[in-house]
Amino acid sequence: MAGFVIAHMYPDLLNLYGDRGNLLCLQQRMRWHGHDCRIKNIRLGEKIEYAGIDMIFMGGGSDREQGLVYRDLVGRSDEFMAHIEDGMPVLCICGAYQLLGISYIAVDGQVMEGLKFFNYLTRGAKNRLIGNVLIKACIEGEEISVVGFENHGGRTCFEDDSLQPFGMVIKGYGNNGEDKKEGIKYNNLIGTYLHGPLLPKNPGIADYYLKTMASRQGIELNSRLDDYIENMAHEQVKKKLLAT
């Protein structure tokens, strides 16, 4: 039995919309594969021991919470980005996804700085983009459908055409409701607006993270999980969206 550790960054601040379910999904699926998986909470001011971490997860939060997280991370952002470049698996949802960009410009014009890992801007709008969403994504060379739920006021726009979205919108809004792009995919990092939580209804994405974590330890996950219930939940959302 191997052991894996997923760092849950700022669980007391970035905790909207039940996205902790992504961690529970990964933990249980890794256990079904016969390996141990532990969730390690990292709070403000706590050192991140990357050598003992297999994956990083950050969820969504309000503007105030995002500001606190930014001030905590900005002084050590170079180390964080270096591990992203090295292939560390990372999942950032909603507010955490916005935080990776240049800045967030609120409706009243106030600017909240981002970590500037990627060249995109998020601008706030009065009307929120809310509803179920269906995208097509390419994961390890295979095109798959991904479903989720989005609820965001921010409109994220890439300033660099070379940036790769997590997927392209079939139904829903995505990054900004206009260009059909949803989220970002870079190395083994995914940033996305998809709540739900994302992974329980998309076992293909969950397995992508599991296999990546295992591969970085030199381990192959050979067992095949029974995803009947997960796929049924996925297809129910997909069919409902395609029928509208």
pLDDT at 67: 87
Q: How many C-beta neighbours within 10 Å does residue 216 have?
A: 16
Smallest Cα–Cα separation from 18: which of 62, 55, 60? 60
Q: What is the pLDDT of residue 15?
A: 85
Spatial distance between the Cα atoms of 121 and 193, rounded to a whole number of angstroms: 14
pLDDT at 79: 96
pLDDT digits (tens, 9 = 90+) for 190-241: 999 999 899 999 999 999 999 999 999 999 998 999 999 999 999 999 999 9
Instruction: Tally the domains of the chain.
Output: 1
| Peptide bond before residue 89 is cis, with ω within 30 degrees of 0 | no
Domain span at residue 226 reads 3-243
Catalytic residue among 37, 94, 152, 234: 94
Residue 76 sits in a domain whose CATH number is: 3.40.50.880
State the amino acid at position 163 in one-letter form: L
Check if 195 is active-site.
yes
Q: State which residues of the chain have pLDDT below 70.
A: none
pLDDT of residue 125: 96
Among 8, 35, 195, 234, which one carries the catalytic annotation? 195
The reported pLDDT for the residue numbered 220 is: 95
| DSSP symbols for 108-135 | TS-EEE---SSSEEEEEEEEEEEEEEEE
**Separation of alpha carbons 166 and 33, rounded Å:** 26
Active site residue 25: no
Q: CB count, 10 Å around CB of 12?
A: 11
Residue 182: per-residue pLDDT: 98
Cα(27)–Cα(35) distance, rounded to whole angstroms?
9
Please state, in angstroms and as integers, the Cα–Cα distance from residue 185 to each residue in 84, 89, 166, 223, following that order.
11, 11, 5, 27
